[in-house]
Amino acid sequence: MSKKSKPAAASVPTTPREFNWLDDPKNIRLVRNVFYAVLVLLVLPDFFMHKHTLFYSVEAWPGFYAVFGFISCVGIILVSKLLGYALKRSENYYD
């Protein structure tokens, strides 16, 4: 009674493929949805908390600091783009 064994190399792929879990669109959607849920959970307590305003009454608006932070971040990006155009040098500037 001889047993036939399968060669071990037949089950191993010949070219190793690096698995990246973000290659699957399903996982990308999952990460994006979790990100949006975290953003909502961070702003949600703003609707239920009493805030003491320091300077202006708009600081008491729900989500004010989230919107203010987003607008500030967009402003920083736009200013850095303009600064990049102003400071740009030609490709052979140092030659």
pLDDT tens track for 74-90 = 999 999 999 999 998 88
Q: Phi and psi for 50 in degrees, rounded to 5?
A: -85, 125
Show me where the domains of the chain are located.
Answer: 21-87
Between 18 and 43, residue with greater pLDDT: 43
- For the stretch 34-74, pLDDT in tens is 999 999 999 999 899 888 888 888 888 999 999 999 999 99
Q: How confident is the model at residue 10 (pLDDT cuts 50, 70, 90)?
A: low
pLDDT of residue 21: 81
- Which conformational region is residue 19 in: left (phi greater than 0), alpha (psi within -120 to 50 degrees), or beta? beta
What are the angstrom distances between the C-alpha of 49 and each of 20, 59, 67? 41, 12, 17
Cα separations in angstroms, 19 against 22, 23, 24, 47:
9, 8, 10, 42
